Structure 1
Amino acid sequence: MATRHPAPGGPWRTRLAAWFGVDETWERVPDDPARARRTDAVLAAAFLVAGSLGVELLRSIDALGSSAGSYVWPHVAVAAGTLPLAWRRQRPLLVAVWLSAHFFVVGITLPSVAVSMPMQVVYFLGIFTGVAWARDRRAMLAVVTGIVLLMFGWLTWQLAVGSGVEEALGHAGTPLTRQGLFSPATAYVVYTLLVNVFYFGGAIIGGQAAWRAALHRDRLAAQAHTIEEQAAELQRRAVVEERLRIARELHDVVAHHVSVIGIQAAAARRTLRRDADVAEASLRSMEASSREAVTQMRALLGTLRSADEDAEPVPRAPEPRLADIGGLVEQTRGSGLDARCHVVEDAPGALDAVPGPLGLSLYRTVQEALSNVRRHSTARTAQVFVRVDRRPEPGFAHGYAEVEVLDDGRPRTGTSGTGLGLLGIRERLATHGGVGEIGPRVTGGYRVRVRMPLSEETP
């Protein structure tokens, strides 16, 4: 990045330099260089034709003065002044310097050609293009300053030393008499200066305004491109996060139901010979668990398929909420683990008011914790606590929802898992900005405790 230094000489110079963009590193180039070259070539040809036609018109009315008898040089002067326009956007400063020198030389040798309307437009366009398309803004400012000083210096010399005023104000050898507020000489000098100020000033200001407008458009386009890239990145992240969420859901659902089925299968095998009715009940429970697992996995896979624009939307089953934890604990009790659920609400209905995404994360946390108890622990009992408190406290300005799973067992050897379940719990904590405590208890057993903040909109 270029380092910018304030221009010396006071605030007005600093503002002037900033307006001309002398410290800008941005370079203006045509959007379609080939098309721009063709357009400039056509423009140069059009002004060549217009300038040559103007020369013939001037010759026809005997307005070329001493050069009226010459047929070649006025047309050569027009060609030398118009053809460089074909390179005006490729070499803007070089063309501006060339046309200014052309005006200076032709204005002395062939003044009628220099002041003709087509050539005056060409000179104006040369300065305008030099300011509007110069890539080096410091060089542009130096070139334009030199052009203006040269032209006004020449004009001042002509008015002060030459015979321009006397010739302009004479009428058949008789000086003009004063008729207005100013003397003829003063009015002529002031009028000539004002015309040139507006001529050169208009070209410079117009060119700079065009340059700044192009800079503004380019920055807006860059901002729009950045916003588009950011939107695409956010969309990509949203897809990744959704797939991670579904992966966690699949892990929790499969782990929970497979562990339940495994425990029930073992119980059915043990009781099959002793009590056929109990074995049949265990098999029915296994069947219900497997069906529920398949249903939830189909719903999650349907969500993955719905990300495809061409796929038909798949209806999703209602996701579990915080109030469904009681049913989850009852199902766990049916699989052989003596689990109890305790609900603590600061007011009736607080449990149902917890937002769905937050309640689902807490539900999956309890589901994963109970699955771990069954698979990796010798515990016979587990206590599940569900707490909702909307009173503010440090770190939870609008209250919290919390689940806690406690067991009384010890780790079972040879049953270490992949750690994906605990990773999913921690990812949910990070998503909702919650805090957690996961690990063995000092008094024995294991604790999984997760607290997540409620939002201000939670009723």
Structure 2
Amino acid sequence: MPRPRPTAVIAEWFGVDDDFERVPADPRAAYRRDVWLGLTLTVLAVAGMELSRSAGYFYDDTRPAWLLYVLSAAGALPLVARRRYPLLVLALVYSHFLLVGLTVPAVPMTQVLQVVYFMTLYTAVAWARDRRAMIIVVAASLAAMFGWLFWQTAISSALQHYAENEGLLDDPPGAIAALDAMIAQTWLTNVAYFFGAIALGQVTWHAARRRAQLTAQAATIERQATELGRRAVVTERLRIARELHDVVAHHVSVIGIQAAAARRLLAKGGDAAPDAQGPLATIETASRDAVEQMRGLVGTLRDIGADDGGTADGGDRSPEPGVADIERLAGADGGLDVTYTLVAEPTGAEAAVPGPVGLSLFRTAQEALANVRKHSTARAASVTVRVDRRPVDDDARFRGGYAEVEVIDEGRARPGSSGSGLGLVGIRERVATHHGVAEIGPRVTGGYRVRVRLPLPVEGS
């Protein structure tokens, strides 16, 4: 594999071809903070200039004090827009650095302006949205800075005067000539200072890009999870609609058949026959229309399910399971020892549980046992079915009694086997359809409980 060219490595590190553009999370607040920062540094730059004058650094300078204050303020003031226009601010500040440094060299050397130069270069690298333009402007700024530094070391006699006054030229204390060592130290300090600002800015930019990528990935995962949940709910509703159709359609069809038979019998004779034919014919027509409309509606739902990745086939037309089939479900061999208990009050009340209620209890037990086998360390579980025709005084929903299924295990969650939770969504959808209550979650004493209680119709209603 050929090694990438150095220019390609540099371009990749600076994100030249990256689509990411770094902007503040709250631009208005960020730009407001930049204004206050720029104004604060401007005041500090003017104050620092006065301290330098008072300390005697401008003793031989004949320029008026106000000019020095203006030059100091002009170097710091552009930072009020440092993140709004990072490259423009960098160009202005380093142009100031070069022009003022060539005419009044002592001004750029004040401590506050040194901080300003570092912060401006760091901000340009960390916040520039056009990475190619950033490289060009930064390179030009470095050229201006090192050009000024070369000019100062070439023509300035300050270092030589210092070495002569200290006697370092006559008796050098180290292995390197004192003047050469001071020049090298000045260059090393500036290289570390300015390239450190570039490195820190680029590291900050990479960190911001990683955060943006993680945020985008989290949003995508959340969006996909929401879509999967929506699809699971739609699928479960389609199945519930089909099951309700099967049960209700059967009874409505019986009504239609009986009404038609009554109409025919009454039509054979009797004084009341003419009066009875009209209502009975209406019952027959309405029941048949209801069945046809329900079949059309469920067919439409099945077609929608097929478009979403489901199936539109008619499915198994065998009778749906009910309460009586839960015992068979508990006895199925699946690597789990299941204890089944039936509690009925009065005895035999389970036989009168309506089909839709029994089907929902069966599906709940089926899903709960499947979850125990897949996601729990339990080797045993208990399934308890309770059917009680006595009204529950503190809940009006259960005036006709209730039918309940409870699945309990003593295990712990198996590591790395967490499911999507879509099966529990289906259980809650069924409970909501029947206006019942559900208790799903870990037990205080250990293990897990799934308990669903559904209301029974009031007897005689």
TM-score bucket of the superposed structures, by smaller chain: 0.5 to 0.7
1:95 counterpart = 2:89 = yes
Q: Which residue is equivalent to 2:216?
A: 222
Shift of the 204–168 alpha-carbon distance from structure 1 to 2, 3 Å rule, reads: farther
Shift of the 107–352 alpha-carbon distance from structure 1 to 2, 3 Å rule, reads: closer
Report how many residues are paired: 287
- Contact between 2:101 and 2:148, CA under 8 Å: does it hold in 1? no
Q: Which residue is equivalent to 1:145?
A: 139
Shift of the 170–321 alpha-carbon distance from structure 1 to 2, 3 Å rule, reads: farther
User: 77, 80, 89: which is aligned to 1:83?
Assistant: 77
Per-residue CA deviation, residues 86-122 of structure 1 (Å, 9 max, x unaligned), is 1111110011111111111222222222111111001
Give the whole-Å Cα distance in 1 for the aligned partners of 2:123 and 2:334: 72
User: 37, 41, 53: which is aligned to 1:59?
Assistant: 53
1:39 counterpart = 2:11 = no
Give the whole-Å Cα distance in 2 for the aligned partners of 1:352 and 1:163: 92
Q: Which residue is equivalent to 1:21?
A: 15
- Contact between 1:130 and 1:207, CA under 8 Å: does it hold in 2? yes
Per-residue CA deviation, residues 243-281 of structure 1 (Å, 9 max, x unaligned), is 212211122112233334555666788999xxxxxxxxx
Q: Which amino acid aligns with 2:209?
A: L
Q: Which residue is equivalent to 2:232?
A: 238
Q: Which amino acid aligns with 1:86?
A: V
Shift of the 232–174 alpha-carbon distance from structure 1 to 2, 3 Å rule, reads: closer
Q: Which amino acid aligns with 1:217?
A: R
The Cα of 1:49 is off from its aligned counterpart by: 1.4
- Alignment of structure 1 residues 130-279 onto 2, 5 Å: 130-160=124-154, 162-163=156-157, 165-171=159-165, 175=169, 177-263=171-257
Q: Which residue is equivalent to 2:391?
A: none
- Alignment of structure 1 residues 119-134 onto 2, 5 Å: 119-134=113-128
Q: Which amino acid aligns with 1:189?
A: I
The Cα of 1:154 is off from its aligned counterpart by: 3.0
Bigger mean CA deviation after superposition, 252-261 or 46-55: 252-261
- Contact between 2:42 and 2:76, CA under 8 Å: does it hold in 1? yes
**Normalised TM-score (structure 1):** 0.55
The Cα of 1:181 is off from its aligned counterpart by: 2.8
The Cα of 1:147 is off from its aligned counterpart by: 1.5
Shift of the 122–176 alpha-carbon distance from structure 1 to 2, 3 Å rule, reads: farther
Give the whole-Å Cα distance in 1 for the aligned partners of 2:335 and 2:146: 84
The Cα of 1:46 is off from its aligned counterpart by: 0.8
Per-residue CA deviation, residues 49-103 of structure 1 (Å, 9 max, x unaligned), is 1111111111112112433652111101111111111111111001111111111
Q: Which residue is equivalent to 1:443?
A: none
Give the whole-Å Cα distance in 2 for the aligned partners of 1:258 and 1:12: 80
Give the whole-Å Cα distance in 2 for the aligned partners of 1:249 and 1:184: 96
The Cα of 1:210 is off from its aligned counterpart by: 1.5
- Contact between 2:169 and 2:178, CA under 8 Å: does it hold in 1? no
For the residue of structure 2 that corresponds to 1:41, the secondary structure is helix
Q: Which amino acid aligns with 1:113?
A: V
Per-residue CA deviation, residues 280-337 of structure 1 (Å, 9 max, x unaligned), is xxxxxxxxxx9xxxxxx9xxxxxxxxxxxxxxxxxxxxx9449979xxxxxxxxxxxx
Give the whole-Å Cα distance in 1 for the aligned partners of 2:137 and 2:117: 15
Give the whole-Å Cα distance in 1 for the aligned partners of 2:57 and 2:188: 25
Give the whole-Å Cα distance in 2 for the aligned partners of 1:210 and 1:263: 78
Give the whole-Å Cα distance in 2 for the aligned partners of 1:221 and 1:112: 47
Overall identity of the aligned pairs, in %: 48
**Normalised TM-score (structure 2):** 0.55
Give the whole-Å Cα distance in 2 for the aligned partners of 1:37 and 1:351: 64
The Cα of 1:350 is off from its aligned counterpart by: 6.6
Shift of the 154–114 alpha-carbon distance from structure 1 to 2, 3 Å rule, reads: closer
- Contact between 1:322 and 1:351, CA under 8 Å: does it hold in 2? no
Per-residue CA deviation, residues 348-371 of structure 1 (Å, 9 max, x unaligned), is 957999xxxxxxxxx99xx9xxxx
- Contact between 1:84 and 1:95, CA under 8 Å: does it hold in 2? yes
Q: Which amino acid aligns with 1:104?
A: L
Give the whole-Å Cα distance in 2 for the aligned partners of 1:104 and 1:237: 64
Give the whole-Å Cα distance in 2 for the aligned partners of 1:352 and 1:254: 37
Give the whole-Å Cα distance in 2 for the aligned partners of 1:19 and 1:158: 33
Q: Which amino acid aligns with 1:152?
A: F
The Cα of 1:126 is off from its aligned counterpart by: 0.8
Give the whole-Å Cα distance in 2 for the aligned partners of 1:51 and 1:320: 84
Give the whole-Å Cα distance in 2 for the aligned partners of 1:128 and 1:351: 64
- Contact between 2:122 and 2:198, CA under 8 Å: does it hold in 1? yes
User: 107, 111, 120: which is aligned to 2:105?
Assistant: 111
Give the whole-Å Cα distance in 2 for the aligned partners of 1:104 and 1:9: 39
In structure 1, the gaps of 5 or more residues are 1-7, 273-289, 291-296, 298-318, 326-347, 354-362, 368-459
- Contact between 1:169 and 1:176, CA under 8 Å: does it hold in 2? no
- Contact between 2:14 and 2:131, CA under 8 Å: does it hold in 1? yes
Q: Which amino acid aligns with 1:140?
A: M
- Contact between 1:40 and 1:85, CA under 8 Å: does it hold in 2? yes
Give the whole-Å Cα distance in 2 for the aligned partners of 1:226 and 1:158: 56
Shift of the 219–202 alpha-carbon distance from structure 1 to 2, 3 Å rule, reads: same
- Contact between 1:124 and 1:200, CA under 8 Å: does it hold in 2? yes
Bigger mean CA deviation after superposition, 69-78 or 193-202: 69-78
The Cα of 1:161 is off from its aligned counterpart by: 5.2
In structure 2, the gaps of 5 or more residues are 267-286, 288-293, 295-318, 326-330, 337-354, 360-461
- Contact between 1:48 and 1:82, CA under 8 Å: does it hold in 2? yes
For the residue of structure 2 that corresponds to 1:253, the secondary structure is helix
Q: Which residue is equivalent to 2:444?
A: none
CA RMSD of aligned residues (A): 3.8
- Contact between 1:55 and 1:74, CA under 8 Å: does it hold in 2? yes
Q: Which amino acid aligns with 2:24?
A: P
